[in-house]
Amino acid sequence: MAWQAKLEARKDRTLKEVLKRRADRFGDKNWIVTRERAYTYREADRETNRLGRGIAKLGIAKGETVLLMLPDTIDYVYAWCALAKLGAIEVPVNNHAKGTVFAHMVNDSLAATMIVDRQYLDRIEFVFAELTGLKRIVLYSKDASGNEPGLPPALEGRFEQVRFENLFDPSDAPLEGGPAYNDVMGIMYTSGTTGPSKGSMNCHAHAYEYAVTAVELLEMEPDDIYYAPLPIFHIAGQWAVVYACMIVGCTAVLTGTFSLTEFWNDVRRFKATISFLLGAMANFLYRQAPAANDADNTMDRMIVVPLLPEIEDFKSRFGVRVSTTYGGTEQNCPMRSSFTLANNRTCGRLLEDRYEVRIVDENDEEVPPGVPGEVCVRTKNPWDMTLGYWNHPDWTVRAWRNFWYHTGDMLMRDEQGNYYFVDRTKDAIRRRGENISSMEVEQEIVKHPCVLECAVVPVASEHTEQDVMAVVVTREGRTLDPVDLIRFIEPRMAYFMVPRYIDVIDALPKTPTGKIQKFPLRERGITPTTWDREKAGIKLKR
């Protein structure tokens, strides 16, 4: 493929260098296209220099963390790139984060500055008394009436205020200095399992390698148009889409949230040729009633993770080729497939020139093919995996037991070298591309006055992956209304964390030492007494 000859040498794999080289080479070619307009490589390089200068004038220096909580706009891309050029550390915040989880991320990041859209200020208001290090809010966007008011009364005077549009410096000259390829580029918070969410420190070389995974999986070329409605606060949207396009010199389409009804219309409108879909997205598209023009589109190649069982029918119906992969924020993507899938369950084969993988039992002893176990990963090239967990070296040590990174994922390998995702080994739940900590859901549920204790477990979803189920024990003499519980926890957590299923039982199964046993609850699953939020018609606010 033509792009292979143009990959940067390892020490040049910083976003600052990559964007400069693409601006020099592609100039007025479109890098980002939105519903409103297009933005060229040269313009993006120039505007991120201006924004970087403005951010530096706030006193933000190399190595300092900055929180970003913005919608999927060109300005999010500019803010991320400007921070990367300075060598500052981006901390993307999931736009759905709320309550205790949100406060933990803000405090744990040690960031004094947050660039935030007005629509998310209520998240800060809800927990501002718990925030220990945040001192400055860079306010993005106007209010609903088009005005430009300052912070709401509850936050007024508590934080320094800066308007985002005022950060752009008059000078667009290239920024001096900047990061090395092994400097931390972003702290990406991944869902905790036995504790709070953890901030994975990912350097510039790591981000570049992750983006190249998409380049290889999609066989991207400069004339491709990449449309994948994945949020930029996720590494898949930011690195596997936007950054991958930068590396190749092609065009990324930003439209915001995935729309089942508009996806194929947008493909045709933008003449998109490649995409990246979560398994749930592909499943939703496949479950739509077939139409005569399903294959009448410009889409040629897709990444789908995980594969849906009907993937061959999906490919035929929509006229696309599909590849897949296995990876994560910390371990990058050690397995991937070609467009010739081994079967409808695989997550690919090992990239033996770049990664080492072992599938092990609870004692870290390797298991034979056909036996599930935890997948452990190491890289053959330096800096292509997480540098560890921000602010928590003890977590890093535990994750790297016996000098292998323990992913917490259970995989299986067959005799032919194909790998298969089986389950999570820890108490995490995977729902429509989001990792959910059962502990973080539980700690909000038990705050309800009627709840004595609870256990949150995954149940299989008809849309691939899993749904969230809460098994609850009430306080003596109390009766729990499931709708009341949902409305109680809704403002305290992201919508995707809110349980779909609630089951009230007399007692939770426990070990002789009093620890809750979740395995019997997972095996028990949905019962005749289980309340289903979706069947009850309860809608969540996003």
Domain of 80, CATH number, reads 3.40.50.12780
Identify the pLDDT of residue 327. Answer: 93
Residue 64, in any domain of the structure: yes
Identify the pLDDT of residue 3. Answer: 53
pLDDT digits (tens, 9 = 90+) for 325-337: 999 999 999 999 9
Q: Of 186, 202, 218, which marks where a domain is finished? A: 202
10 Å CB burial of residue 93 (0-12, 13-18, 19+) is: buried
Identify the pLDDT of residue 263. Answer: 96
- Mean pLDDT along residues 195-215: 93
- Mean pLDDT along residues 276-304: 92
Q: Which of 39-43, 249-253, 455-459, 500-504 has the lowest mean pLDDT?
A: 455-459
Residue 198, in any domain of the structure: yes
pLDDT digits (tens, 9 = 90+) for 405-420: 999 888 999 999 999 9
Give the chain's mean pLDDT.
91
Contact (CB, 8 A) for 533 and 486 = yes
Q: Of 138, 172, 202, which marks where a domain is finished? A: 202
For every residue of 61-116, DSSP letters joined together read -TT-EEEEE--SSHHHHHHHHHHHHHT-EEEE--TT--HHHHHHHHHHTT-SEEEE
Identify the pLDDT of residue 401. Answer: 95
Q: Which of 250-259, 281-290, 425-434 has the lowest mean pLDDT?
A: 425-434
186-200 residues labelled b (16+ CB within 10 A) or e (exposed) = bbbbbbbbeebbbbb
Residue 165, in any domain of the structure: yes
Residue 183, in any domain of the structure: yes
pLDDT digits (tens, 9 = 90+) for 161-189: 999 999 999 999 999 999 999 999 999 99
- Mean pLDDT along residues 476-496: 90
- Distance from the Cα of residue 540 to its chain's centroid: 21
Identify the pLDDT of residue 145. Answer: 64
Residue 328, in any domain of the structure: no
Identify the pLDDT of residue 426. Answer: 64
pLDDT over 60 at 216, yes or no: yes
- State the alpha helices, DSSP H only, in 244-334: 244-248, 263-270, 279-287, 311-318
Distances (CA, A) of 330 to 182, 334, 356, 358, 391: 15, 11, 14, 16, 15
- Mean pLDDT along residues 301-328: 95
Identify the pLDDT of residue 5. Answer: 47
pLDDT over 60 at 468, yes or no: yes
pLDDT digits (tens, 9 = 90+) for 368-392: 999 888 999 999 999 999 999 999 9
Residue 460, in any domain of the structure: yes
pLDDT over 60 at 32, yes or no: yes
- Mean pLDDT along residues 290-311: 94
Q: How many CA atoms within 13 Å lie on the side-chain side of 296? A: 5
Nearest to 27 by CA among 52, 45, 50, 6: 45
pLDDT over 60 at 513, yes or no: no
What is the rounded distance in angstroms from the CA atom of residue 358 to the CA atom of residue 352? 12
What is the rounded distance in angstroms from the CA atom of residue 66 to the CA atom of residue 63? 10
Domain that holds residue 464: 428-532
Domain of 515, CATH number, reads 3.30.300.30
Better-scored residue on pLDDT, 154 or 67: 67
Confidence of residue 463 (pLDDT cuts 50, 70, 90): confident
Residue 241, in any domain of the structure: no
- Mean pLDDT along residues 483-505: 91
Identify the pLDDT of residue 7. Answer: 83
Residue 474, in any domain of the structure: yes
pLDDT over 90 at 358, yes or no: yes
Q: Of 142, 169, 202, which marks where a domain is finished? A: 202
Confidence of residue 467 (pLDDT cuts 50, 70, 90): confident
Q: How many domains does the chain have?
A: 2
pLDDT digits (tens, 9 = 90+) for 414-451: 999 999 987 667 666 777 777 777 777 887 898 899 98
Q: How long a stretch of residues is the chain? A: 542
pLDDT over 60 at 456, yes or no: yes
Contact (CB, 8 A) for 458 and 429 = yes
What is the rounded distance in angstroms from the CA atom of residue 194 to the CA atom of residue 188? 18
pLDDT over 60 at 352, yes or no: yes
pLDDT over 60 at 9, yes or no: yes
The count of other CB atoms within 10 Å of the CB of residue 394 is: 8
pLDDT over 60 at 511, yes or no: no
